Amino acid sequence: MRYKDLHALSVDNPRFFWRQKMNLIRWFKEPDNVLVEDGDGLFRWFKGGELNTCYLALDYHVDHGRGRQVALYYDSAATHTKRRYTYRELRDEVAKFAGVLRAQGVGKGDRVIIYMPMVPEAVISMLACARLGAVHSVVFGGFAPHELAVRIDDARPKVLITASCGIEFTRVIPYKPLVDAALDEARFPPEKVIVFPRPQAEAAMTGGRDLDWHELMHAAEPADWVPVAATDPLYILYTSGTTGKPKGVVRDNGGHAVALKYSMKTVYNINPGEVFWAASDVGWVVGHSYIVYGPLIHGCTTVLYEGKPVRTPDAGAFWRVIAEYGVSAFFTAPTAFRAIKKEDPDAHLRRKYDISTLRTLFLAGERLDPPTYEWLTQVLDVPVVDHWWQTETGWPIVADPMGLEPHRIKAGSASFPVPGYKVEVLDDEGAPVEPGRTGNIVIKLPLPPGCLPTLWNDTEGFKTSYLSAFPGYYNTADGGYIDEDGYVFIMGRTDDVINVAGHRLSTGEMEELIGSHAAVAECAVVGIDDQLKGQVPVGLVVLKDGMDVDVPALEKDLVQLIRREIGAVAAFRKAIVVARLPKTRSGKILRKTIRRLAVEEQIVTPPTIDDPSIIAEIRTALREHRVGQYADLPLSEDDAEGI
């Protein structure tokens, strides 16, 4: 069936379409209903079905002849360590660690926080939770203690799993002090902390609470998989919200397994037994979906890479991994290739490696800018496919479906809605707009399987955040347009969430933190276009009257404040003290004007501004602090944090 016909069937008759696709996975008990509405008026997929996601990812393949196939390659360029796990070996390690968790009282429905670097034990922890029917919540290791504490208090975990350290280039980052600080702050700390020791750092252990990974594994009895309902939660993944409070995106077991299994062939055109590599982190949704669950459910070999695209040891790191493991499909963020291009603009290092196994390169997490796309098409002789999705959806919304009917790629477009998604563009009043006109990107309800059914313990927040703006639709909070040929162009966020190297961060949260400083009267944090990371946050700060402060020292203090409270991943390195902020006559800060001043030589002064003379003042401040078009951009290790 052609793409257009298949897509039309999926959105016109979703029950029929997904009844067919649910047979892609092994159910212990088949669903009674493909799609129902629950008591809160929310859609739920495959109600009545029973399965286990860990069984699908591991045991199923061992039972069906893939036990000796490599399930996971671990490549740590940071520590010069390599390991491989067959499906049988990974199954056995996961079963044993599931026994560890069970011995600590973890069972179906209990929450477990995972705060780990990119080591196999992070994957083992996730799958062990899934094996028991426990709900894991992975927190990216770059987040500061406050951010970890907020997530602990929302999830209320029984156990927290961490490691003694993470590694950024040559820097060892001890994790245990960060965890201890978060537990001191949290109102609902877990009963036990399991620590995986790494040789690069020793962790100080708290007696009676902290437990050593190796000691527990030595004494553990393996645990078998536990059947769970399709509608039971598999994991919670927190994403930035406009209020500063992270939102706990819930992923259910049944819809998630069906959607990821379907996407591996339909979107990525990858077959069981082939090597799939997503260069992300397990702390983000890409790591959940396409390092861990998607490839393993599909019977692929996945790659877990601990390193950077550059300086581990050089800008040929990605090409080396592709060649060494025979990667067929590779997925990363455009930021990574902007860093590679900056250090190796003529791709000399690419020619050192035989990457003939690579069939397709996929990019997501942020908009693929046309210059990066053009460079990649010159460097590679395989399709370069941009695609777009969100933490909330868990799998692609818009893509060129390489396993169905590849289309002509248009630079700047993520191509077409994936079967299951009815994507439309509405104006602010909810009316459809004509082709080519920018508006609000929305998805007609019901969302397909695999998307969030709700937020953790916050049904009303889910409705308010996603469903209230345009009744009958899910509001993506992204703006863009669909052209006359049906190609979807995503142009950026319509809320105060910015995209830093593929990581969604709230400028509202940063403003709240800066505004808490005793010297600050008001502030504005905006996302400025950046050649490397897509966007970076910049803060403009107005001091309280009569404050006698050392301005350069204060600016440094505010940068450290964001780094301490949110983490280095925020990439917040510019806090600029100004006399005043550009505002409308009604007092609204003109953040869009600030963004434009940073990246455009000439702008039209907004007619609503209260004092046009401030434009020159802000431009001068941005120039003096080398922001946006005024920046010089040597690539430093700090720049590469979070890539």
In this structure, of 16-20, 165-169, 459-463, 594-598, the range with the lowest mean pLDDT score is: 594-598
Q: For position 498, what pLDDT does the model report?
A: 67
pLDDT greater at residue 566 or residue 158: 158
Domains defined along the chain, listed by start:
3-307+387-476 (3.40.50.12780), 497-640 (3.30.300.30)
What local confidence, expressed as pLDDT, does residue 97 receive? 98
Q: With 90 as the cut, is the pLDDT of residue 188 above it?
A: yes
Give the per-residue pLDDT at 630.
62
Instruction: Return the pLDDT at 567.
Output: 86
> Beta-strand (E) ranges in 427-487?
439-444, 473-482
pLDDT confidence band for 533 (50 / 70 / 90): confident
Q: Is the pLDDT of residue 556 over 60?
A: yes
**Alpha carbons 416 and 428: distance in angstroms, whole number:** 23
State the pLDDT at residue 244. Answer: 58
Angle, CA of 566, 572 and 577, to the nearest 5°: 115
| Residues near 268 by beta carbon (within 8 Å), at least 6 away in sequence | 276, 329, 331, 360, 362, 402, 403
pLDDT of 197 reads 98
Number of other CB atoms surrounding residue 242 within 10 Å: 16
Question: Identity (one letter) of the amino acid at 444?
Answer: K
Please tell me the predicted confidence (pLDDT) of residue 643.
62
The pLDDT tens digits for 285-319 are 999 999 999 999 999 999 999 999 999 999 999 99
555: phi then psi, degrees, rounded to nearest 5: -60, -40
- Tokens representing 497? 């969430």
Q: At 613, is the pLDDT very low, low, confident or very high (cuts 50, 70, 90)?
A: confident
- Identify the CA nearest to 335 among candidates 323, 352, 318, 321: 318
> Could you tell me what percent of the chain has a pLDDT over 70?
95
Helical H runs in 205-251?
213-219
Q: Determine the Cα angle at 382 with ends 66 and 87, to 5°.
A: 15
Phi first, then psi: give them for residue 297, nearest 5 degrees: -60, -35
Write down the pLDDT at residue 580.
87
CA distances from 271 to 22, 57, 277, 533 (A): 18, 15, 13, 32
| Burial (CB count within 10 angstroms: exposed 0-12, middle 13-18, buried 19+), residue 219 | exposed
pLDDT for the residue 584 = 67
| pLDDT band with cut points at 50, 70 and 90 for residue 575 | very high
Q: Which residue has the higher pLDDT, 616 or 216?
A: 216
What's the whole-number mean pLDDT along residues 113-133? 98
For the chain, the average pLDDT equals 91
pLDDT in tens, 227-284: 999 999 999 999 876 555 789 999 999 999 999 999 999 999 999 999 999 999 999 9
CB 509 within 8 A of CB 503: no
Q: How far apart are the first and last CA of the chain?
A: 39
Q: What is the pLDDT of residue 86?
A: 98
What does the pLDDT read at residue 10? 98
With 80 as the cut, is the pLDDT of residue 512 above it? no
Range name among 26-30, 88-92, 380-384, 436-440 with the lowest pLDDT average: 436-440
- pLDDT per residue as tens digits for the range 411-441: 889 999 999 999 999 998 999 999 998 889 9
pLDDT given for residue 242 in this prediction: 53
Structure tokens that stand for 366 in this block: 């942020």
**Which residue from 214, 286, 204, 241 is spatially nearest to 461, judged by alpha carbons?**
241
Q: How much is the pLDDT for 293?
A: 98
- Partnered with residue 277 across adjacent β-strands are 330
- What contacts 112, CB < 8 A, 6 or more positions away? 101, 106, 125, 129, 134, 135, 136, 137, 157, 158, 159, 160, 161
Count the Cβ atoms, other than its own, within 10 Å of residue 489.
21
Q: Reply yes or no on whether the pLDDT at 201 is more than 70.
A: yes
